[in-house]
C-alpha cells in the first residue's frame, strides 16, 4: 500500500513537534472550509503560529528538519 505525502509526513512532523516544542498544540485540519479560511489551497501545508501570529508556512515540499530549525530559536526565546 502506498502512502500519500500527508500520511507519511504527519507522524514524523507530529513526533518532532511534540519532542521539541512541548508547549505547542498541534491541530490537523481535515475540513476544506476551515483550510480555506487559513488560505490553505495545497497539501501538505504546515502553518506554525507563535504567540497567536503566523510565523512559518511551508507547502508541498516540507522538510521536518527545516521546520524544527526555523521554529526552535523563537520558541526557546518565548518559553525560556
pTM (two decimals): 0.80
pLDDT at res. 3: 56
pLDDT at res. 43: 86
Contact 20, 68 (CB under 8 A): yes
Other C-beta atoms closer than 10 Å to the C-beta of 70 total: 15
pLDDT at res. 37: 93
Residue tagged 521539541 (cell numbers): 20
CATH class of 5-79: alpha beta
Residues 8-60 have pLDDT tens digits of: 888 999 999 999 999 998 888 888 999 999 999 988 899 999 889 999 999 98
The pLDDT-based confidence of 79 (bands split at 50, 70, 90) is confident
Amino acid at each position: 500500500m502506498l502512502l500519500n505525502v500527508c500520511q507519511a509526513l504527519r507522524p514524523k512532523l507530529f513526533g518532532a513537534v511534540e519532542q521539541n516544542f512541548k508547549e505547542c498544540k498541534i491541530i490537523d485540519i481535515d475540513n476544506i472550509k476551515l483550510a480555506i479560511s487559513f488560505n490553505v489551497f495545497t497539501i501538505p501545508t504546515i502553518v506554525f503560529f507563535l504567540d497567536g501570529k503566523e510565523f512559518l508556512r511551508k507547502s508541498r515540499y516540507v522538510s521536518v528538519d527545516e521546520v524544527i530549525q526555523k521554529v526552535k530559536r523563537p520558541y526557546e526565546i518565548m518559553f525560556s
